[in-house]
Amino acid sequence: MKSNTVETIRLKYPKHILRPEDFLTFYEMDGFLADWTQLGFDDDDLQHVQLCVMAGPEKADLIPGTG
């Protein structure tokens, strides 16, 4: 569940490096946003997850069978 605490974060990277968002596109499957909302998450939560993926797309394990 989501807490009542709000945290603002800032992603910093050197200006000479291209922005990660210039290269990544997120595709949401049918029903994703409805499920996301039902779980109690909002757009800020989704943006946070996307920023984490952009900051280190190779850091997490790949789920078998997903690509």
- The CB-side HSE value for 13 (13 A sphere, CA atoms) comes to 11
Instruction: Write out pLDDT tens, residues 24-36.
Output: 788 888 999 999 9
Task: Please tell me which residue, 28 or 2, carries the higher pLDDT value.
Answer: 28
Annotated domain spans of the chain: 20-55
Could you tell me the pTM of the whole model?
A: 0.55
Q: Is residue 20 within 8 Å of 60, Cβ to Cβ?
A: no
Q: Is residue 1 within 8 Å of 40, Cβ to Cβ?
A: yes
